[in-house]
């Protein structure tokens, strides 16, 4: 899908300063402000992006509102929208290599993962929603004779999209493609840590024929741009992926402004439960390692808790340590690298502080725990494993969003369920067992938006992803995600 020579040809390509895109035009911040973007690969300046503010958000929302109200997108045939979304998918695929390398330079995800998880996944998402356009029927309600109840789906209007720095293309596409498919217009605010590939995606959308004003982007910080979008009186729906703290803020902004709907896809502390009857323990260990240490743990569904039945706990933990110690950490633009950089210096320091706290809380540090490759100037932390982690510790209870695994032994299925469900989160989970009844019981009993059985991650766009508890209140992906971006309207007719 991408070769080392293709990567090497792109790795030092100049990156132009980036501006907002409003009403199809590239525009500077209203006060001309810019902010510097550094690459986590080496801590060096990569480029500057526009540092927006509330005036820029007002302009972008006004453009999105005008484009919505005049029907240039909301009132064309759904199949015509679908054709454009599919053209966008084609163009993303055609540019997959350069999009992936640009994104990796911005956020440090290893390229072997990024090429599939970023452009190829984003293309698949645009294709999925493009294909759904025109296949979205309304309803005739089963009303009494002499009356007719019609249920129409209508776009909501202007959708505000705020995304995090991990997998910006994949997560951005989940939201943008679904919102556009339902006929809305969009104002996007990428993470200031990883804006660049999304900015190119917005250009691609216009090159594919998306009308001006339908997709606008304002770059900058959360407090300046994100808050202005969240508080805006003319944004109808906010869809957000990121931390719980900012999710709470967005709900408050909605309460303080126009009561816009707010959908949150938040963090997790996802349990991976290994029973002694898991069968191939080597395979289960390899999946456990990939589930937490790929992308240096900066994955919302990272399997950051490993619950192992006591009879295999020591053997299984050794297998995980042996496999994790073979991982190649470092230059994310090397195809052989299995875990790249931490996305920013701030995030690296936050992970290191969480590791120090875990040591103080009494868990046994069995591997890692320190910064690596500091001579490169980049932000790297090796796979870190704590054994016998206390259930009440921050190590078990709080999302770290880094390459840190908490291992806990358990004795019974009931205990595994209690430990697994014993956090405020409920995003993802997994169970490894050969007992089909146990597998189904665990699917029923684990409190999570997704329960993997004998695997981890990799679910395609046909199934929803969303959390329960403090992992969120909405779903991305699948036809269910369209519900976030449309209203139901009843026509009640006396015959």
Nearer to ligand NAD, 205 or 351 (CB): 351
Q: Which of 52, 213, 242, 402 binds ligand NAD (CB under 6 A)?
A: 242
Please tell me whether residue 202 binds ligand NAD under the rule CB under 6 A: no
- In the block, which residue shows the tokens 């405020």? 424
* CB-CB neighbours of 288 under 10 Å: 27
| Helix-helix angle 96-107:196-207, to 10 degrees | 150
Please tell me whether residue 241 binds ligand NAD under the rule CB under 6 A: yes
In the stretch 413-432, what mask flags binding to ligand NAD with x, by CB under 6 A?
Answer: --------------x-----
Q: Residue 388 corresponds to which tokens in the numbers above?
A: 């016998």
Please tell me whether residue 401 binds ligand NAD under the rule CB under 6 A: yes
Q: Which range binds ligand NAD by CB under 6 A, 10-18, 26-34, 158-166, 271-279?
A: 158-166
Please tell me whether residue 155 binds ligand NAD under the rule CB under 6 A: no
Q: Which range binds ligand NAD by CB under 6 A, 92-100, 224-232, 367-375, 440-448?
A: 224-232
Would you say 429 and 306 are in contact if contact means Cβ atoms under 8 Å apart?
no
Point out which residues pair with 438 in neighbouring strands: none
Q: How far is the CB of 138 from ligand NAD (least distance, A)?
A: 29
Q: How many residues does the chain have?
A: 495
* CB-CB neighbours of 335 under 10 Å: 16
The count of residues interacting with ligand NAD (CB under 6 A) is 31
Please tell me whether residue 192 binds ligand NAD under the rule CB under 6 A: yes
* Among 181, 173, 178, residue whose Cα is nearest residue 74: 181
Separation in Å, CA 455 to CA 290, 427, 478, 494: 10, 16, 20, 54
Q: In the 8-state DSSP scheme, what is residue 469?
A: G
In degrees and rounded to multiples of 5, residue 17 shows phi and psi of -60, 145
Q: Which of 118, 265, 295, 309 binds ligand NAD (CB under 6 A)?
A: 265
In the stretch 437-466, what mask flags binding to ligand NAD with x, by CB under 6 A?
Answer: ----------------------------x-
* Among 21, 59, 62, residue whose Cα is nearest residue 157: 62
Q: How far is the CB of 151 from ligand NAD (least distance, A)?
A: 29
Q: Residue 121 corresponds to which tokens in the numbers above?
A: 């996944």
Please tell me whether residue 118 binds ligand NAD under the rule CB under 6 A: no
Please tell me whether residue 86 binds ligand NAD under the rule CB under 6 A: no
Nearer to ligand NAD, 113 or 162 (CB): 162
Please tell me whether residue 168 binds ligand NAD under the rule CB under 6 A: no
Q: Which of 192, 265, 309, 413 is catalytic?
A: 265
Q: Strand runs (DSSP E) across 283-389, as ranges?
A: 305-309, 364-367, 371-372, 380-381, 384-387
Q: Which range binds ligand NAD by CB under 6 A, 95-103, 185-193, 307-315, 362-370?
A: 185-193
In the stretch 271-310, what mask flags binding to ligand NAD with x, by CB under 6 A?
Answer: -----------------------------x----------
Nearer to ligand NAD, 290 or 409 (CB): 290
Q: Residue 348 corresponds to which tokens in the numbers above?
A: 């690296």
Q: Which long-range contacts (CB under 8 A, 24 or more apart) does 252-260 make?
A: 253/227, 254/230, 256/231, 257/230, 257/231, 257/232, 257/233, 258/232, 258/233, 258/234, 260/160, 260/235, 260/236
Would you say 37 and 46 are in contact if contact means Cβ atoms under 8 Å apart?
yes
Q: Is 300 a catalytic residue?
A: yes
Please tell me whether residue 122 binds ligand NAD under the rule CB under 6 A: no
Would you say 247 and 240 are in contact if contact means Cβ atoms under 8 Å apart?
yes
Nearer to ligand NAD, 97 or 249 (CB): 249
Q: Which of 300, 309, 399, 413 is catalytic?
A: 300
Would you say 261 and 295 are in contact if contact means Cβ atoms under 8 Å apart?
no
Please tell me whether residue 236 binds ligand NAD under the rule CB under 6 A: no
Q: In the 8-state DSSP scheme, what is residue 211?
A: P
Q: How far is the CB of 467 from ligand NAD (least distance, A)?
A: 6
Q: Which of 47, 249, 408, 429 binds ligand NAD (CB under 6 A)?
A: 249
Please tell me whether residue 227 binds ligand NAD under the rule CB under 6 A: yes
Separation in Å, CA 348 to CA 113, 127, 130, 352: 20, 35, 38, 6
Maximum CA pair distance of the chain?
79
Q: Which range binds ligand NAD by CB under 6 A, 95-103, 237-245, 332-340, 356-364?
A: 237-245
Q: Residue 222 corresponds to which tokens in the numbers above?
A: 């959360």
Would you say 389 and 358 are in contact if contact means Cβ atoms under 8 Å apart?
yes
Nearer to ligand NAD, 118 or 192 (CB): 192
Which positions are catalytic?
265, 300
**Residues near ligand NAD, by CB under 6 A:** 162-166, 171, 189, 191-192, 221-223, 226-227, 230, 241-243, 246, 249, 265-268, 300, 399, 401, 427, 465, 467, 472
């Amino acid at each position: 899908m991408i070769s080392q020579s293709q990567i090497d040809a792109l790795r030092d390509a100049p990156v132009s300063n980036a501006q907002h895109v409003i009403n199809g035009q590239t525009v500077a911040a209203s006060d001309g402000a810019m902010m510097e973007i550094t690459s986590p690969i080496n801590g060096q300046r990569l480029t500057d992006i526009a540092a927006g503010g509330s005036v820029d958000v007002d302009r972008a929302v006004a453009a999105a509102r005008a484009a919505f109200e005049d029907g240039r997108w909301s009132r064309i045939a759904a199949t015509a929208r679908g054709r454009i979304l599919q053209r966008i998918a084609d163009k993303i695929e055609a540019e997959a290599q350069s999009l992936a390398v640009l994104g990796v330079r911005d956020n440090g995800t290893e390229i072997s993962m990024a090429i599939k998880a970023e452009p190829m996944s984003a293309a698949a998402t645009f294709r999925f929603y493009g294909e759904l356009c025109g296949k979205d029927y309304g309803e005739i309600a089963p009303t009494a004779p002499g009356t007719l109840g019609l249920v129409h789906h209508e776009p909501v209007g202007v959708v505000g999209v705020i995304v995090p720095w991990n997998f910006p293309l994949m997560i951005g596409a989940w939201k943008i493609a679904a919102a556009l498919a339902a006929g809305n217009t969009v104002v996007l605010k990428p993470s200031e840590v990883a804006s660049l590939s999304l900015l190119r995606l917005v250009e691609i959308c216009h090159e594919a024929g998306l009308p001006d004003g339908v997709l606008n982007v304002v770059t900058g910080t959360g407090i300046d741009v994100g808050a202005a979008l969240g508080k805006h009186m003319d944004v109808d729906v906010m869809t957000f992926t990121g931390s719980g703290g900012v999710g709470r803020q967005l709900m408050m902004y909605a309460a303080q402004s126009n009561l816009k709907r707010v959908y949150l896809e938040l963090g997790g502390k996802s349990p991976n439960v290994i029973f002694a009857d898991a069968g191939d323990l080597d395979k289960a260990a390899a999946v456990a390692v990939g589930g937490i240490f790929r992308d240096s743990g900066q994955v919302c569904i990272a399997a950051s808790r490993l619950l192992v039945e006591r009879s295999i706990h020591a053997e299984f933990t050794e297998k995980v340590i042996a496999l994790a110690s073979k991982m190649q950490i470092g230059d994310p633009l090397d195809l052989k690298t299995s875990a790249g950089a931490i996305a920013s210096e701030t995030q690296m320091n936050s992970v290191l502080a969480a590791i120090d706290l875990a040591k103080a809380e009494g868990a046994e540090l069995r591997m890692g725990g320190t910064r690596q490759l500091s001579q490169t100037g980049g932000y790297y932390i090796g796979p870190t494993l704590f054994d016998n982690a206390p259930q009440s510790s921050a190590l078990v209870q709080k999302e770290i969003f880094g390459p840190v695994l908490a291992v806990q032994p358990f004795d019974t299925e009931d205990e595994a369920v209690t430990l697994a469900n014993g956090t405020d989160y409920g995003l993802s989970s997994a169970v490894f067992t050969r007992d089909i009844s146990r597998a189904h019981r665990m699917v029923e009993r684990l409190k999570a938006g997704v329960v993997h059985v004998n695997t981890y991650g990799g679910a395609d766009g046909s199934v929803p992803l969303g959390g329960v508890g403090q992992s969120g209140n909405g779903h991305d992906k699948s036809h269910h995600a369209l519900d976030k971006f449309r209203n139901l309207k009843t026509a009640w007719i006396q015959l």
